A and B are shown apart, each in its own frame.
Chain A
Amino acid sequence: MTPVRVVIALCLVAPFVAMLWVGSYSSVDPTFIGIPFFYWYQMAWVIVSTALTMVAYKLWQRDQRAQRARKDRTEARDGGASA
């Protein structure tokens, strides 16, 4: 488990904690342009969770690339040793 993967996991788990803890957002106040907190807060989380998924996606891509590069290096070294 690399530190990058821990961050990816956190990004993906955060929406679950936020959305399933209904008590944290079940109130009318503060309202936003007349819309009760309960509704605009959840809509805001659509955007927050999208941003988090995007971060996870970018980190994952970078992680995969790094891993592949590492693998290629190892293979090249091993290949060189046996030649």
Chain B
Amino acid sequence: MKDGVNGVALTVFILFFVAVTVMGFLAARWRKAENEHSLDEWGLGGRSFGTWVTWFLLGGDLYTAYTFVAVPAAIYAAGASGFFAVPYTILVYPLIFTFLPRLWSVSHKHGYVTTSDFVRGRFGSKGLSLAVALTGLLATMPYIALQLVGIQAVLDVMGVGGGEDTHWFIKDLPLLIAFGVLAAYTYSSGLRAPALIAFVKDTLIYLVIAVAIIYIPIKLGGFDAIFDAAGKAFGETNPATGAPRGALVPNEAGQWTYATLALGSALALFMYPHSITATLSSRSREVIRRNTTILPLYSLMLGLLALLGFMAIAAGIKVQNGQLAIPQLFETMFPDWFAGVAFAAIGIGALVPAAIMSIAAANLFTRNIYKDFIKRDATPEQETKVSKLVSLLVKVGALVFVLTMDKTVAINFQLLGGIWILQTFPALVGGLFTRWFHRWALLGGWAVGMLYGTIAAYNVSSPTQAHFGGSSAEIPGIGHIGYIGLTAFVLNVVVTVVLTFVLRALKAPDGIDETKPEDYTADAGDAGVSVELPKVGTGH
């Protein structure tokens, strides 16, 4: 790390940041609707987004700053095992191709804003809906906190934030400003702000990756030299574990972990409230299917990005905190002004998902806790007001979390969040295809999955941590090491099926299903569904 502040990089960073802030506030006027005081408007952008806006929004939402920092950081630390993010994002798209259009249809037909709305309507169970809502909130909060960690990493490398003995207020001031601004425009513009800023974020990210993947290997003597250096580095023994630091390809034992992590994460991704928010904001069913064919472009980018982890090794980057490896690589390899662009890409990359996540969490709270349990006759205006306030509270919570607690706490919780959110899969995706599962059985399965996942994750130790040392543990009965979330999920499904048989035999009361089979295939233009405007001259 260079001493002091990197002035050029910082200036470029601030320029981009100011530009994005202006866009964020102006976004409120973009595609403005007549009735702006409804949750559909503020929280789903009026459900009006077409293929390209949805593409940018989903990309901006799923591929977060933390992803950009953490995936190459995992490669930098251990090699092959960190690359599971690529098969994971490959598997996501065929998966959502099958179930998301159904969720879109039923949500548009019944005005659902969150996944819990659907679960309540489908199973007639407020208890199950509350369980899904709470899981969503619990999983999203640490995710927002991690976006802050991403910004912090960039600020650290730029030399802003001071040393160990700087007063805490001065040290955290840049982060406070960034978040204050983010909170203000999310409050005023709703989902339109991140949708608009996502254009800037993705353009910057694509630019930086394209340059990095060509420019850095040339400077380092080609991919041969890079992988040679990485292979040597991974072969060295790690003093903490007595085992090699990593490997270029996963060994026999690591393959189970690799595959289960990829599958489990793919199943979990679209259970997160923020992915659903971005999906429901699209204007037709077709937009979603079309998006599954163009979203993989981001996976390709993620794969290239992951390779930066190897380049960091070959470039001789030595950092204590792996999260700093990539920002540090950029600062070392790029001229100052372009390093500033790269840092802006990561910084803005944190703002977009943080905004969408806080909106999604706020929608969950308003619809499934406030309206269902606190104030049943809330008007759309009141709903929107509560949602706006909660979006602020959620961000303040995340900020306090990051500033007061150790970074590893946020990472631990995010790891747990992934395991937890996967446990809502049977109720949501199961519910989209069949009404056979009993609502209480789903609740039982969810509870077992949550409990098992939490305990198993608690018991994982690593050389640096006694608990929550990772997300993989031995799969009972199989003996291989696998992703805890997936094991918990299988357990969850088994419990749900068994309990459904039992409850059906006991004739336990089945809740009222307010949906009809044809609701799941309805598209824009059908009766009761908002109309898709005819497009002029746009190819698919």
B-contacting residues of A (Cβ < 8 Å)?
11-13, 15-16, 19-23, 26-28, 31, 33-39, 42-43, 45-47, 49-50, 52-54, 56-57, 60
**Residue of B with least CB distance to A20:** B259
B223 pairs with A43, CB closer than 8 A: no
Which 9 residue pairs of A and B lie closest in terms of their CB atoms, listed nearest first? A34-B223, A34-B224, A19-B87, A22-B255, A12-B94, A50-B296, A43-B303, A38-B249, A26-B249
A16 pairs with B91, CB closer than 8 A: yes
Can you pick out 16 interface pairs between chain A and chain B where the beta carbons lie within 8 Å of each other?
A12-B98, A19-B259, A19-B262, A26-B250, A26-B251, A31-B224, A33-B222, A34-B225, A35-B307, A39-B303, A46-B300, A49-B93, A52-B94, A53-B94, A53-B296, A57-B290
**Residue of B with least CB distance to A51:** B293
Interface string of B92-111 (1 = CB under 8 A from A): 01100110000000000000
A31 to B249, CA, bound (A): 12
Per DSSP, chain B at the interface is helix
A53 pairs with B293, CB closer than 8 A: yes
A12 to B250, CA, bound (A): 26
Given contacts A20-B259, A26-B249, A27-B249, contact A35 B223 (CB under 8 A): yes
**Residue of A with least CB distance to B86:** A42
A-contacting residues of B (Cβ < 8 Å)?
80, 83, 86-87, 89-91, 93-94, 97-98, 222-227, 248-252, 255, 258-259, 262-263, 289-290, 292-293, 296-297, 299-300, 303-304, 307
Per DSSP, chain A at the interface is helix
A49 pairs with B223, CB closer than 8 A: no
Given contacts A26-B255, A38-B83, A38-B249, contact A15 B90 (CB under 8 A): yes
Given contacts A20-B262, A22-B255, A46-B303, contact A56 B87 (CB under 8 A): no
Q: How far is the CB of A37 from chain B (nearest CB, A)?
A: 8
A23 to B222, CA, bound (A): 27
Residues of B within 8 A of A22 (CB): 250, 255, 258-259
B262 pairs with A53, CB closer than 8 A: no
14 extra interface residue pairs, beta carbon distance < 8 Å, beyond A26-B250, A47-B296: A22-B258, A26-B80, A26-B251, A27-B249, A31-B224, A34-B222, A34-B225, A36-B248, A38-B83, A42-B86, A43-B303, A47-B300, A49-B94, A57-B289
A24 to B222, CA, bound (A): 27
A57 pairs with B224, CB closer than 8 A: no
B83 pairs with A15, CB closer than 8 A: no
A57 pairs with B87, CB closer than 8 A: no
Residues of B within 8 A of A16 (CB): 91, 94, 263
Report which of A13, A20, A53 forms a contact with B93, defined as CB distance below 8 A.
A53
A45 pairs with B223, CB closer than 8 A: no
Report which of B90, B227, B249, B262 forms a contact with A46, defined as CB distance below 8 A.
B90
